[in-house]
Amino acid sequence: MNYTLHQLEIFCKIADLKSVTKASEELFLTQPAVSIQLKKFQEQFQNPLFEVVGRKIYITEFGTEIAIAATNILNEVQALNYKALSFHGELAGTLKIAIVSTAKYAMPYFLTDFMNQHPSVDLVMDVTNKAEVVRSLESNDVDFAMVSTIPKNLKIDRIQLMENKLHLVGGRQYTQSSKNLNPKIFEQLPLIYREQGSATRNAMERFMASHKISTYKKMELTSNEAVKQAVVAGLGFSIMPLIGIKNELNTGDLQIIPVKDLPMVTNWNLIWLSSKNLSSIAKRFVEHINENKSLVMNAHFNWFNDY
């Protein structure tokens, strides 16, 4: 057999995504180039690695076994590369972070300088909801997580990064009052919620419960971006984190509606398991955050003070 590491990488990506098109997009290759390499890889085996039914690709049982073996080979090769770089004094390896979806508006700013300073460090960042972030942390699948609510069932260490302000937000269609409204205003508004498991959803429900508010209409969407676009379109109103709506506030597509007892203010935190044996990369990242978080805040989030 004479397969290449490139072919292994392509086949693993296809097996993972079940799509040649999606694999080509993630690998930044043309679809014909991926198809050619997949064909050459298949020619080296007597048993089929995949089947095409209609326009869908299905990985066979044999193909699944090959994908597992190929993944192990690629991981070993990557480990060899990291060891070679480390021998020459470079920080090399993988930094794994899980963040709640709204944190995607902030975490990249805390990562940029670190990644630029250490080009041999690879980043894997999973963007999901709070429940999945906590699960990833608890199962030790990641080094760090960025959350606004500290999980109570885990012993964690943390670095407080920045404030998380949550306001009632409406589209440009809303005729706004200049004074703080009574929280009972929520009973007159069609409200849009995040999905169960979202920290924003939990905060919104706590606010409703603490003010004994009964909502008359409710819509549920599965991402902060989806909620934002729904509010912009005039489908309803929502309590949203300030961090994700800067551009829409500037353009007037969204407006903050002043309500008594809002905004709710929590804090964004970088957290990790207290029991975790941090890698050299993770330790260096903690040092970097402690040394530079104030600089990041001043450079990118001073606009928070306007709200």
Distance from C-alpha of 160 to C-alpha of 184, rounded to nearest angstrom: 33
How many other CB atoms are found less than 10 A from the CB of residue 53?
7
User: For the domain 164-265, what is the CATH code?
Assistant: 3.40.190.10
| pLDDT given at position 129 | 84
pTM of the full predicted structure?
A: 0.70
Q: Please indicate whether the domains covering 5-87 and 164-265 agree at the CATH topology level.
A: no
How many other CB atoms are found less than 10 A from the CB of residue 170?
19
State how far the alpha carbon of 145 is from the alpha carbons of 269, 279, 284, in Å. 8, 15, 16
Task: Classify 93-162+267-306 by CATH class.
Answer: alpha beta
In the chain, what are the domain boundaries?
5-87, 93-162+267-306, 164-265
Architecture field, domain 5-87? Orthogonal Bundle (1.10)
Pairing of strands 191-194, 218-221: parallel
| pLDDT given at position 54 | 80
pLDDT in tens, the chain (307 residues): 788 988 989 999 999 999 989 898 888 889 899 999 999 999 999 999 999 888 789 999 999 999 999 888 887 777 777 666 666 666 778 899 999 989 999 999 999 999 999 888 889 999 988 888 999 999 999 999 999 988 888 999 999 999 999 999 999 988 876 678 899 889 889 999 998 888 889 889 999 999 998 876 678 998 889 999 999 999 999 999 999 999 999 999 999 999 999 999 999 999 999 999 998 899 999 999 999 999 999 999 999 888 8
